[in-house]
Structure 1
Amino acid sequence: MAPITQRREIDETLVLKRRWITLALLTLTYFFSFMDRQILAILLEPIKRDLSLSDTQLGLLSGLVFAIFYATLGIPIARLADRTSRRNIIAASLAVWSVMTALCGVAQNFTQLLLARVGVGVGEAGAGPPSQSIIADLYPPEKRASAMAIYSLGVLLGGGLGIMIGGNVAHAYGWRAAMLVVGIPGIVLALIVRLFVAEPRRGLSDVQRVAEEETEPLPSMWRGFLAMLHNPAAVHLVAGMTLTSLVGYALTGWGPSYMQRSMGMSMLTVANYIALPAALVGGASALLGGAIADRMAKRYGLHAQAWVIAAMKTIAFPFAVSFYFFDSVPVALGAYFVSLLFAGVYLGPTYALIQHLAPLRLRAMWAALTLLMVNLIGLGLGPLAVGRLSDLMQPALGDQSLRYAMLAVAMMTPVPIFLYWRAGVLMRRAAD
């Protein structure tokens, strides 16, 4: 038995030494996920003209249709990931959604585009939970928020660069070509992920918890759900992230359209001069947030990470709202970028805290439950709510209906601020 144990220790040491490769590839996979998902934001206006769609239909394509399949299929796939190879699931999922994104480019009507978006949602359902589970096994609690913040760069850079690439390709060759350009490279990346992403032992970075939990059988899916439901801090974190995502998906999903309709910008201007700087500012926000959260956790305890999020969101809120009031484009954009600098902080620390609170053998399941709420409610209802409100306000407000629809959703932000603050209070009480 000694040689077997020694070989396992050597393998685990190698996995930990090369964990940066795994983190980089998982971040790149997340990047492609959001690029393929959010490219629709810059293409809404040409798709609306080409296929004669309403804002409500665009909201369905941007959010609810995608989110239903993405969120609900994430649960059984996460269950599979808690039992089998997470790396293989991620690679297969990446291949599926990349093919379906390319097929969006050949859709000839609303129904065909809707079905292709369903396929994108089905594919992307298998990437997030297994990725978070792998990262949690590779990085200990004191480094996990920073690692998750790096992983969350995929959200911010993927969405921003997707808009930039999509806008430029659509301007030159049409929106269909843009879908093909961002979809096809993901198939190659799927092979690279399969070959080079590590599959660490579960609980590799939580030695003490492994000793406590290794003799316990794998809980059922229902018990996994109840375990989260009976953890008040986890409930508040998931609720806070869900509402934050609802506001975020609504505003980023319609942001390029708003800049074109209400601010008089062209699609190319938004793609080249707004998307990339916004992605870089958001990425800096995520990295800064992860570093601050880890430092505060080391000094005051993990509960302080939830308070960091609440504080940063409080600073961002007035700038995010004022963006819709300024008539001056430079001033409005200034407020927009300041809000982005603080708004992206929540991603890494929230993912890290939920993985910390989750039982070791349910990490993928808890990640999937979180994404179920975030995407079914946040992604599913956020863009749809803006589209529906815009259609309802259009008779009275004309071209400005989108402005006030987005403002109405932005005003929800104080609710998740309270939820994050409360999560920190509950975590501190539990630690005492």
Structure 2
Amino acid sequence: MQEGTDAGRAQAGGARRTVRDYMGRGPWFTVGVLTAANSFAFLDRQVLGLLIEPVRADLGLTDTQISILIGFAFAIFYSVFGIPIGRLVDARSRRLIIAVGIAVWSLATAACGLARSFWTLFLGRIGVGAGEATLGPAAMSMISDLFPPERRGTAIAVFITGAAIGSGFATVLAATVFAVLEDFAEIALPVVGTVRPWQVVFFVVGLPGLLVAILALAMREPARGDAVGTAGIPLHEVWAHVREHAVLITCTLIGFSILAIKSYGIAAWVPTFFVRTHGWSVGQAGIYFGLTLAITATIGAILGGRLSDWLAGRGMADAKIQIAILANLLTLIPIVAYPLVANDMAAIVLVAAYYLFAAATTPMGAAIVQEITPPRMRGQIYAVFLFTSTLVGMGFGPLSIALTTDNVFGDPADLRYSLAMVPLVTVSLGLAFLLAARSRYRALPRVY
């Protein structure tokens, strides 16, 4: 791949790279590996959401404690590690950073299967968060150096589908394994000893990720977009860029972070909603929800990415943020309706409709951040984006629904009302910030 300086920030003698420059050296292989890594990341991140009831029963936990394990235990260290890792991403081998991260979170997921108490499971979730902090900044930086802006939305959308595939099939796989083993009170395994069925699920979903870590080493490190060498860009230049676009960056980060509260909250509690409200088994809830999520969210993310590239190619400068606003408006009816309808099949159809629209939003946040950031700052700025969206979304999403159920309604059976109320509020607030960012995003020169 030919390196050149950015046209908008060119130094003397610099030249803007062409589509051919971006599309050489097998970029779709890299996207494929990164998508597989993202699938395993979300598989390991979300699997606890299916196992709420058996973990809650065996460890004697409340809904609030479970939500802390799903959310804050993961999110705090994911967010804290993300920013220094983002700085490494802008200066060191992104391929190696990703491979090490995959190995760490895979082993930490398997370690969750050894948990015997709240605190040992908490420590395992910390390890998952710390390892997964490597993937987002490094992957987005690599994809942005492999694809020009007019093709970037589709490439990012493909990477984002890993979240849908991982979350969906994590639920299906975990549900299938649990359904096979749930009749056994305890299972004796070599080395680890006697474990419960839910603990085996963590081994099954965690350890195969080590194969993806090996595959990540086969990726080629793409040349960076606006500079050569490995020196990190000075922090004062990063801060100067943030101050120059303070309103746009702030509104974008806050808007997508608030929307993440809704996303993580629904993903964490919907399987349990079907168990408590409609009397489904854990296995049935996992299979139906997992397939629904994997199929509809994948379609939604791809359609959102393709549509944004198509509109941008026809001169719609704010296509990505417009799609994010419209898609979230379209989620309002299904997110309020599915918890309240009496029929279980109607509820799962409404969940499918929600994910079809909501998934179109997910690639837009990542793509917008890449467009407003110079190439050698992308790891750091995207790490801040992940810091806010994950800490706020995963930290408060599951927790806000649990606290509402425990303290407002006071009955686990009333989870359905929390699932209707909390997402409605967060979507409304998130949209307000995206609307505030729209005009500034539209006016920003597309030079990255």
Instruction: Select the structure that is richer in helix.
Output: 1
User: Structure 1 CA distance, aligned partners of 2:442 and 2:140?
Assistant: 24
Match of 2:92 in 1: 84
Equivalence for 2:427: 413
Which of residues 169, 177, 185 is equivalent to 2:200? Answer: 177
| Equivalent residue in structure 2 for 1:197, among 213, 219, 222 | 219
1:129 equivalent among 137, 153, 162: 137
Shift of 1:431: 4.4
Contact 2:335 2:420 in 1 (8 A): no
Q: Pairwise mapping of residues 203-218 of structure 1 onto structure 2 (< 5 A)?
A: 203=225, 210=226, 218=232
User: Could you tell me which residue of structure 1 aligns to residue 189 of structure 2?
Assistant: none
- Give matches, 1:364-383, under 5 Å: 364-383=379-398
Q: How far apart, CA to CA, are the structure 2 residues paired with 1:414 and 1:108?
A: 40
- For residues 134-149 of structure 1, the aligned pairs below 5 Å read 134-149=142-157
Residue-by-residue CA offset, 1:307-343 (whole Å, 9 max, x unaligned): 1110111112111111122112222222221111111
Distance in 2 separating the partners of 1:414 and 1:392: 23
In structure 2, how many angstroms separate the alpha carbons of the residues matched to 1:262 and 1:98?
Answer: 33
Task: Name 1:207's counterpart in structure 2.
Answer: none
Question: Matched residue of 1:417: which SS?
Answer: helix
Counterpart mapping for 1:279-358 below 5 A = 279-358=294-373
Q: Unpaired runs of 5+ in structure 2?
A: 1-16, 182-196
Q: What secondary structure sits across from 1:300 in the alignment?
A: coil
- Counterparts of 1:33-52 in structure 2, within 5 Å, are 33-52=41-60
- Number of corresponding residues: 411
Are 1:15 and 1:198, in contact at CA under 8 Å, matched by a contact in 2?
no
In structure 2, the partner of 1:259 is 274
Q: Compared with structure 1, are the counterparts of its residues 422 and 394 closer, same or farther at alpha carbon in structure 2 (3 Å cutoff)?
A: closer
User: Any idea what SS the aligned residue of 2:180 has?
Assistant: helix
| In 2: Cα distance, 1:347 partner to 1:102 partner | 28
Q: SS at the partner of 2:279? A: coil
Structure 1: distance between partners of 2:388 and 2:146: 26
Residues of 1 paired with 2:443 and 2:340: CA distance? 41
Aligned: 1:68 with 2:81? no
- Give SS of 2:340's match: coil
Deviation at 1:402, TM superposition (A): 1.3
2:402 to 374, 387, 400: 387
Is residue 150 of structure 1 aligned with residue 158 of structure 2? Answer: yes
In the alignment, the residues of structure 1 paired with residue 235 and residue 405 of structure 2 have an alpha-carbon distance, to the nearest angstrom, of: 39
Letter in structure 1 aligned against 2:372: L
Does 1:401 find its partner at 2:414? yes
RMSD: 2.1
Distance in 1 separating the partners of 2:344 and 2:316: 42
Report the Cα offset of residue 220 of structure 1: 3.1
> Which moves more between the two structures, 223-232 or 27-36?
223-232
**Using the alignment, how far apart are the partners of 2:240 and 2:91 within structure 1?**
19
- The aligned residue for residue 188 of structure 1 is 211
3-state SS of 1:262 partner: helix
* Structure 2 counterpart of 1:277: 292
Residue number in structure 2 paired with 1:427: 441
Shift of 1:54: 0.6
Deviation, 1:359, is: 1.5
By how many angstroms is 1:263 displaced?
2.0
Task: State TM-score, norm by structure 1.
Answer: 0.91
Q: Residue 94 of structure 1 corresponds to which residue in structure 2?
A: 102
Task: Report the Cα offset of residue 252 of structure 1.
Answer: 0.8
Q: Measure the CA separation in 2 of the matches of 1:14 and 1:321.
A: 43
Whole-angstrom CA distance in 1 between matches of 2:134 and 2:444: 32
CA distance in 2, matches of 1:292, 1:180: 39
Q: CA deviation at 1:394?
A: 4.7
Question: 1-side partners of 2:349 and 2:64: how far apart?
Answer: 30
Deviations 1:158-181 (A, max 9, x none): 101101111111222311111000
Deviation at 1:305, TM superposition (A): 1.4
Report the 3-state secondary structure (helix = DSSP H, G, I; strand = E; otherwise coil) of the residue aligned with 2:91: coil
Contact 1:304 1:424 in 2 (8 A): no
Identical amino acids, percent of aligned pairs: 31
Partner SS for 1:413: helix
Q: 1:75 to 1:17 in 2, by over 3 A?
A: same
Aligned to 2:38: 30
> Is the partner of 2:278 in helix, strand or coil?
coil
CA contact (8 A) 2:337 2:420 kept: no
Query: What is the CA deviation profile of residues 170-213 of structure 1, one whole-angstrom value per residue up to 9, with x for unaligned ones?
Result: 2223111110001111112101111x11211111xxxxxx3xx7
> Residues 14 and 371 from structure 1, CA distance in 2 versus in 1: closer, same or farther, beyond 3 angstroms?
closer
Residue 222 of structure 1 deviates from its aligned partner by 5.6
Q: For residue 413 of structure 1, what is the amino acid of its counterpart?
A: V
Cα 1:57–1:140 change in 2 (3 A) is same
Shift of 1:401: 2.6
Distance 1:155 1:226, change over 3 A: farther
Please give the TM-score of this superposition, normalised by the length of structure 2: 0.87
